[in-house]
Amino acid sequence: METCARPTTWGVAPSHLSVSLEAIQSNTALMLGMCRTPVMAVVKAGGFGMGAVRAARAALAGGASELGVATCSEAIELRRAGITAPILAWVLHEDAPIAEALSCGIRLAPSSPAQVRHIAAVAAQQQVIAELELEVETGMHRSGCPQTHWQELFRAAADADSVQVLGLWTHLAGTISEHFDEPLECLAEAAALAERSGLRPRLHAAASVAATVDPRTRLDLVRLGASLFGIEPVRDRPLGLNAVARWETRVSQVRDVAVGEVVGYDRVVLDHPSRLALLPVGYADGILVAQRWPMAAG
């Protein structure tokens, strides 16, 4: 177990998060065994708060063959840490550090013809071949190239000497097999169009939920995030994933408060005598509490 503790001036932090890298490794191995398809370990957002570099290394040790992140900056951080596995970055905002990403051998996921042409121009200037995974929209309406621009997207990629298209992919929305019928058909249509443009990409679509409930979605690769971090894709059908994180704190004060007293900034009026515990946690401690917990009777 590794511990991430918020530093304090009085020594040991009262609240801390313990992260099990062994659990990430074992969860990766479990999902790989179930899917029987290569696994891309998604470690975006700082490894979902667990530490991107150490989470990436644990997932690779568990059998993941490549990594996925949102931004180029996240990918570059992994490279600078000495990680050599393939890394895909898929959020290419306007001022994304494309040149630095290409110099680090990062794979990119353009979702428009303009992005393909921009990457191709940067790669040509650097005299490198940019490896691309083209993202297409298949019904989620969150990201990906709209169907009306597919032909132009594939043509731009096929015509550029400085890019190599490795993959074609999409995001899936839904939790049951019926939800995936239309997106999978749409992706197959995109793949056929890409092949007519001279491209031969691998296909991937599934994240943790889809990969668990519908084997059709596993295709050539699965992109797994939540399941590697111990979140069961289907709660009523657990796979036996191991918990990755444990948050602990210490009670700093306890007091008994009578019925009718007013408590807290929200001025909650107690309807029964209560014993209240004060926990040193909140936004000032780097942890947001999004839910008001019910007060227990004393």
Phi-psi region at 25: left, alpha or beta (left = phi > 0; alpha = psi -120 to 50): alpha
Say what angle helices 150-159 and 181-196 make with each other, to 10 degrees: 40
269: left (phi over 0), alpha (psi -120 to 50) or beta: beta
Catalytic one of 13, 28, 44, 68:
44
Residue tagged active-site, from 265, 266, 291, 294 = 265
- Domain residue spans of the chain: 2-245, 250-298
| CA–CA dist 204, 218 (Å, integer) | 7
CATH no. for 2-245: 3.20.20.10
C-beta separation of 168 from 157 below 8 A: no
Q: Is residue 44 flagged as an active site residue? A: yes
pTM to 2 decimal places? 0.86
Q: Is 71 a catalytic residue?
A: no
Q: Which residues pair with 19 in a beta bridge?
A: 2, 245
Residue with tokens 């700082």: 46
Per residue of the chain (298 residues), give pLDDT as tens: 554 443 333 345 677 778 999 999 999 999 999 999 999 999 999 999 899 999 999 999 999 999 999 999 999 999 999 999 999 999 999 899 999 999 999 999 999 999 999 999 999 999 999 999 999 999 988 889 999 999 999 999 999 999 999 999 999 988 899 999 999 999 999 999 999 999 999 999 999 999 999 999 999 999 999 999 999 999 999 999 999 998 888 898 999 999 999 998 889 999 999 999 998 887 776 666 544 444 443 3
